[in-house]
Structure 1
């Protein structure tokens, strides 16, 4: 039985999840002609790699469903009617006057889009486009403006007492026992969260509200005092998160949505609202952990420790982002630009396994690795492997050659026998590694297992590299040092690759050391001794 589970689809967590979804839909007896998956895009701050991850993972499930023979599409829902709660780190203080207003009605501080909300959405969509993710873009402001949720809003408001009581019981939030779960946009000041709804006139589909002071996060936001009536079918307003997901799932017939653990309470309430109030089975979910920065803090728009896909793609390929997001879904992970070199190598390893260059005896691991490679290539893998160049070797070479870089690094790669000729792919890799070498000149330290014999051999090499006289054949000298110390030359070469390139292999070690510089390599080795 276990063996069968391992080999669902392509053997990854994505296939397993898609299979659970299909089985559940069959049990529910729902129509299976289109299985929609959704990802919510926040539009209130600069989107980071975690926000991107939500959509990329939902897209993985869409691909798996299509692989199982079902039609599927990804709805990328931009929550751009959301109000601005606080000014994200690094953005102008002038946004203060717009706090509480829907982000779609706030001018773009960068001056290149129609609104603040569109600017933020566009950064995320650009990231998705660069990764090759296909989606149907749905703006929150259009969703409400076109009345796509009006029936759900009506049902939620007519059941508001029951919902308020349930929210208090489920997550301890008592706010919706006193106010209705709906924020009109105040007709006087244009703010959202200060407009407090207190009565719903069901037969007219109108809501009475008062614009009063409200607490957003830890800040007080002043209301304008306006008393108003809003028509939920015509005037702009918004459901709070505690009930909005359910309304969206019902309106768009969503069958899958992943969520981060920071909105766990909202999802729990929404599942209940979907099933008990809207009579719609909640979608299949998967909970993922948050990405953390290298200091262990949650990557967040308001903290300003945001790592965007645009920043990442200055140094790494789109495949490295997809690999980061498709490898696994559980466990919190610290993530930073300095993960790119190892992800570049990991992708090459997967490619070698996929094309049979690296043998893997464990059948389950082989299936999973091949499956992961296919998902990282969005189920459209290349027919043949790309030319392999060690990314850390490229970084080292890019540190040496800063002028006329592409031509000189390419020349060295041909001399080393690493590549036969240049090409657009190689030039792109040199550009990425060059950006990394210029912006992050930090040597990567890997753990190298040294015993007394290898210490002695490395110490001997440091002496030779530090002497005035350059050995006539450094490659042969290193070979001889290994022999004289009682080591296998290949073991000494491997150690040197680990120290210099943080890798187990590389080009001919002698010429590489001379290119990097004898003193520089001697210092690196001394750091390990």
Structure 2
């Protein structure tokens, strides 16, 4: 079975597997000679990754994937997207190599950066203003819960990642610099200072070039992270000399956490020191990735593989900006949708720009549910490319929800429901014996539907009066449904009557008939499968709704409200 999975992974076409194959090629090239690489590749392609690992000692080191986080603010949608997508690549790599090859996912917090401005919406801004330019792990915590602002946000990051079940290793820039883990690479950078400057200076403006240094010394007097020129560098002693505004000419070692690197050299230094094999980033960082890769090579390292994902757009098609607040926050998505639906949204077309606003959540939920349903009947070669394989690490749930999210939204509206208990009452006949503990996904979706309807659907409801053709069809449908047993819960039987009425009354195209049902009865331009909706809502209640719509009783009430 394991070998079958490896075979499927080699042929899989979804982007995580494409990236996994690229990563495998990168690691083999990075660690082995040409002849060794060919031999190892033959073994791996034959489903014998364990033999390849045993034959070549260089392959025994874990494959390292990294994601980065700037803790000057709280974790956000981009943080989730980067970790989720990198995790998908990691899972695909494990499948490709039979899970013989150890992997690590490092969530790196750049918490040694100086606080350059006071973030919006944070308590005690005056206190933060007093701590400007200190490393984030020296800035006092405005929330009063941790020893520093950086520690507070790091804790939030870890709690955030843990809540989604991500498997990762947290790493702090401050702790890593101070531990000496970066010392050897920092000394190499000091030695190759001119090569690094030759890469960086052409990318800077004239004024910036005059003062630029890859080293940001920490002032021994104020503790500030200083952006000052390096006046001298002493390779033999491992030190730099700079002019400290608080104390004049000063010499400090580049090791032991006495300096912090500018972010592009810092990125390259991390790749080298931590032997990073894979890191993805946003399309806006393409040039930064290129320059950091050059610095990595100048330090004797090998730049990691990865790809640049597209950024999200707001409802007007504009780039989302944290400072403008025109995006969708994690808390907002999770109020209206499930974590799985967010992972589904992150899976789809990462190299294409996508809108990220409230309107996409219902569709994302229903698409995720439909992919779960498809997975049950797909052949293995299709399953491994199904998004839910990547979302659930190869083990998606057997079942999702018996009804769609869009149906729940309409049920909430028509039933005027304000609690889960009211919604469960409608399902008592449709799903006999079903309860929250036996249908946990449905129960969660009910909560999301109640929130989404109240905040977005209800304010935008717009019923209309039926045309003469539509009124006749609605009354005909009501009559046909009255002929059915009142306790009918067969959605397909009801749906058959809906189709028959649409054809009998010559709606062309037939979808115009369904549009009329949604607009006249539900006050929306789209809706769920009407037969399923009627089965859950109840046949007598549905008949009453249809007759009210046919007689124009719904539109005036909506207009008055």
TM beyond 0.5 = yes
Distance 1:211 1:380, change over 3 A: farther
1:128 aligns with 2:161: yes
Aligned to 1:268: 290
1:397 to 408, 411, 418: 411
Distance 1:498 1:238, change over 3 A: farther
Aligned to 1:486: 506
Aligned to 1:240: 262
Aligned to 2:328: 307
Quick check: 2:417–2:423 contact (8 Å CA) kept in 1?
no
Bigger drift between 342-351 and 191-200 goes to: 191-200
Bigger drift between 490-499 and 315-324 goes to: 490-499
Report matched runs for 1:57-456 at 5 Å: 57-69=85-97, 70-92=101-123, 93-94=125-126, 95-169=128-202, 175=208, 178-212=211-245, 224=246, 226-275=248-297, 277-305=298-326, 307-356=328-377, 366=382, 370=386, 372-382=387-397, 384-399=398-413, 405-415=419-429, 417=430, 421-424=434-437, 425=440, 426-441=442-457
How much has 1:187 moved relative to structure 2?
2.0
How much has 1:440 moved relative to structure 2?
2.8
SS at match of 1:148: coil
Quick check: 1:45–1:302 contact (8 Å CA) kept in 2?
no
SS at match of 2:242: strand
How much has 1:41 moved relative to structure 2?
1.1
How much has 1:110 moved relative to structure 2?
2.2
The TM-score, its normalising length taken from structure 2, stands at: 0.77
SS at match of 2:279: strand
Aligned to 1:16: 18
Alpha-carbon distance between aligned partners in 1 of 2:471 and 2:231, rounded to the nearest angstrom: 79
Distance 1:255 1:516, change over 3 A: farther
Quick check: 2:423–2:446 contact (8 Å CA) kept in 1?
yes
SS at match of 2:277: strand
Distance 1:498 1:186, change over 3 A: farther
Alpha-carbon distance between aligned partners in 2 of 1:402 and 1:494, rounded to the nearest angstrom: 22
How much has 1:81 moved relative to structure 2?
0.8
Contiguous gaps of at least 5 residues in structure 1: 213-223, 447-453, 466-470
Aligned to 2:38: none
Alpha-carbon distance between aligned partners in 2 of 1:265 and 1:226, rounded to the nearest angstrom: 36
1:27 aligns with 2:29: yes
Alpha-carbon distance between aligned partners in 2 of 1:50 and 1:463, rounded to the nearest angstrom: 51
Alpha-carbon distance between aligned partners in 1 of 2:401 and 2:215, rounded to the nearest angstrom: 56
TM-superposition CA deviations, 1:249-279 (whole Å, max 9, x none):
111111000011222222111101111x221
Alpha-carbon distance between aligned partners in 2 of 1:490 and 1:521, rounded to the nearest angstrom: 25
How much has 1:517 moved relative to structure 2?
10
Q: Which has the higher contact order (CA 8 A, sep 6+)?
A: 1
Alpha-carbon distance between aligned partners in 2 of 1:138 and 1:144, rounded to the nearest angstrom: 11
TM-superposition CA deviations, 1:301-337 (whole Å, max 9, x none):
3334453323321221111111111112112222023
Quick check: 1:294–1:336 contact (8 Å CA) kept in 2?
yes
Distance 1:400 1:171, change over 3 A: same
How much has 1:134 moved relative to structure 2?
0.7
Alpha-carbon distance between aligned partners in 2 of 1:402 and 1:522, rounded to the nearest angstrom: 13
SS at match of 2:457: coil
Quick check: 2:10–2:96 contact (8 Å CA) kept in 1?
no
Alpha-carbon distance between aligned partners in 1 of 2:9 and 2:360, rounded to the nearest angstrom: 30
SS at match of 2:420: helix
Alpha-carbon distance between aligned partners in 2 of 1:211 and 1:158, rounded to the nearest angstrom: 22
How much has 1:182 moved relative to structure 2?
0.8
How much has 1:77 moved relative to structure 2?
0.4
Alpha-carbon distance between aligned partners in 1 of 2:197 and 2:112, rounded to the nearest angstrom: 23
1:52 to 80, 95, 114: 80
Quick check: 1:83–1:102 contact (8 Å CA) kept in 2?
yes
How much has 1:472 moved relative to structure 2?
6.6
Give the total of aligned pairs. Answer: 493
Distance 1:350 1:290, change over 3 A: same
Quick check: 2:217–2:227 contact (8 Å CA) kept in 1?
no
Distance 1:524 1:295, change over 3 A: farther
Quick check: 2:420–2:446 contact (8 Å CA) kept in 1?
yes
Alpha-carbon distance between aligned partners in 2 of 1:477 and 1:19, rounded to the nearest angstrom: 51
TM-superposition CA deviations, 1:176-208 (whole Å, max 9, x none):
564421112222222214454332222221222
Distance 1:458 1:117, change over 3 A: farther
How much has 1:165 moved relative to structure 2?
2.1
Q: What is the aligned-residue RMSD (CA, Å)? A: 3.8
Alpha-carbon distance between aligned partners in 1 of 2:468 and 2:327, rounded to the nearest angstrom: 45
Alpha-carbon distance between aligned partners in 1 of 2:422 and 2:206, rounded to the nearest angstrom: 63
TM-superposition CA deviations, 1:227-265 (whole Å, max 9, x none):
432222234321111211111111111100001122222
SS at match of 1:298: coil
The TM-score, its normalising length taken from structure 1, stands at: 0.81
Contiguous gaps of at least 5 residues in structure 2: 1-6, 33-57, 485-493
Aligned to 1:217: none
